[in-house]
Amino acid sequence: MSSIVSYGSYIPRFRIRVEEIAKEWGENPENIKSGLFIHSKSVPGPDEDVLTISAEAAKNALRRTDLDKSKIGAIYVGSESHPYAVKPTSSILVEALGLSYDIHSADYEFACKAGTAAMQNVMAMVDSGQIENGMAIGADTSQGAPGDALEYSASAGGTAILIGKNGFADFNATLSFTTDTPDFWRREGEKYPSHGGRFTGEPAYFKHVLTGAKKMMEKMGTKPEDYDYAIFHQPNGKFPTRAAKMLGFKDEQVKDGLLTPFIGNTYSSSMIIGLSAVLDKAESGDRILGVAFGSGAGSDVFDMTVNDRVKSLKRERAKGVMEQVNNPIWIDYATYVKYRGKIIMRGA
């Protein structure tokens, strides 16, 4: 089966603390921190978008491998905040990364699991022999309406997973679980998303994440203790922690892949940026469970095992996730609203 040949993430350096947002809306930041388990989130610079974030994540992935770029046969980008409504992000990336023009490319959308949907398609193409290698990217610059609970979490970041044969982490299996569940949506032309409040929890996130994870363990005949790492979609810090507990995972298995408390929810990159952080330290033999969730709703589940080739992976050639997490430029709420286009500029 296909495997991960390389990977890379990119997190914008600008960050805002929960305190900065809370004080504008008369909220107690301690309640947010304990309730949502979020301390700060990333904010894209005024010159960053899903294309630039994807490009930097993909460049980080390419730096870690000596793979000939011309051997990449597909590039798919999953996002709910593509810069254009019509005009693919993926075709700009082909030029920006200097990839071969003989390439399959498309943009994907499935709320927060568009990046993992892209991964599954690249895996299928590699497994079928259609391509040798393919790049799947999940990236977002998500917006939360001012004053909405989402404003504390909606952040920006991206992760690129390069998939091919003979990589350093094998996919043992992948599966998906999909139902029509309107927990979170954004209508065409609207700037901010809407959500079903507490409806986003039990019938949406938990149902799909738990069902997906259980089905995978059932299929593979595994139990939580068989995994060294488990990563769950993380719209906040609380949901994945609770889901892990309900499934029987321990904190040690989950903590390395849990980034949302520091950088917020990177949406299409949410689970895979956790995977990226785990791959930054995983060793040969480590087994990883990854569960992505997308509102609307569905889950994509991956069972992976790191192999011996991890020893020849050039991880040090690109900045790891925690290195980026720990390199913030703190901004205040005024700068945040300016950068996020929440103030009315002339001609903008």
Partner 1 sequence: MSEVPRFWRESRHRYRLVGTRCTNCDTLYFPPRVICPTCRRESVGKMKEEEMSGVGEIYSFTVVHDGLEQFKMQIPYVMALVKMKDGPLVTAQIVDCSPEEVKIGTKVTATLRKVRSEGKEGIIQYGYKFTICP
List, by residue number, the catalytic residues: 80, 112, 233
Q: Which of 66, 68, 95, 332 binds partner 1 (CB under 8 A)?
A: 95
**CA 54 to CA 108: how far, in whole Å?**
13
> In the β-sheet with 40-43, what is the strand arrangement from edge to edge?
40-43, 14-17, 329-330
Q: Which is nearer to partner 1, 129 or 348 (CB)?
A: 348
Torsions phi, psi for 61 (to 5 deg): -65, -45
Check binding of 152 to partner 1 (CB under 8 A): no
Q: Is 215 exposed, middle or buried (0-12, 13-18, 19+ CB in 10 A)?
A: middle
CB of 343 to partner 1, least distance (A): 10
What DSSP character marks residue 236?
S
Check binding of 71 to partner 1 (CB under 8 A): no
Q: Which of 5, 6, 9, 14 binds partner 1 (CB under 8 A)?
A: 14
CB of 133 to partner 1, least distance (A): 20
Check binding of 55 to partner 1 (CB under 8 A): yes
Could you give the residue ranges of the DSSP H alpha helices within 221-269?
238-247, 251-254, 260-263
Q: Which is nearer to partner 1, 101 or 129 (CB)?
A: 101
Task: Give Cα 147 distance to the centre of its chain.
Answer: 24
Check binding of 276 to partner 1 (CB under 8 A): no
Closest CA to 191 of 229, 235, 146: 146
Total chain residues near partner 1 (CB under 8 A): 29
x/- binding map, residues 27-46, to partner 1, per CB under 8 A?
A: ------------------xx
Check binding of 316 to partner 1 (CB under 8 A): no
x/- binding map, residues 192-211, to partner 1, per CB under 8 A?
A: --------------------
Check binding of 50 to partner 1 (CB under 8 A): no
Q: Which is nearer to partner 1, 49 or 286 (CB)?
A: 49
Check binding of 63 to partner 1 (CB under 8 A): no
Q: Which of 96, 124, 145, 175 binds partner 1 (CB under 8 A)?
A: 96
Q: Which of 83, 182, 196, 203 binds partner 1 (CB under 8 A)?
A: 83
Q: Which of 28, 68, 70, 84 binds partner 1 (CB under 8 A)?
A: 84
User: Are 274 and 234 within 8 A, CB to CB?
Assistant: yes
Q: Which is nearer to partner 1, 293 or 339 (CB)?
A: 339
CB of 71 to partner 1, least distance (A): 17
CB of 98 to partner 1, least distance (A): 5
CB of 8 to partner 1, least distance (A): 14
Check binding of 248 to partner 1 (CB under 8 A): no
Contacts of residue 340, defined as CB under 8 A and 6 or more positions apart, other chains included, come to 43, 44, 143
Contacts of residue 223, defined as CB under 8 A and 6 or more positions apart, other chains included, come to 217, 248
Length of the chain in residues, anyone? 348
Check binding of 52 to partner 1 (CB under 8 A): yes
Closest CA to 310 of 280, 274, 273, 272: 280
Check binding of 304 to partner 1 (CB under 8 A): no
Q: Which of 28, 166, 284, 327 binds partner 1 (CB under 8 A)?
A: 327
The SS3 call for residue 40 is strand
The reply to whether omega before 297 is within 30° of 0 (cis) is: yes
**CA 233 to CA 278: how far, in whole Å?**
14
Check binding of 228 to partner 1 (CB under 8 A): no
Show the CA angle centred on residue 113, arms to residues 108 and 118, nearest 5°. Answer: 45
The gap between the terminal CA atoms of the chain, to the nearest Å, is 48
Q: Which residues bind partner 1 (CB under 8 A)?
A: 12-14, 45-49, 51-52, 55-56, 83-84, 87, 92, 95-98, 319, 323, 327, 329, 338-339, 345, 347-348
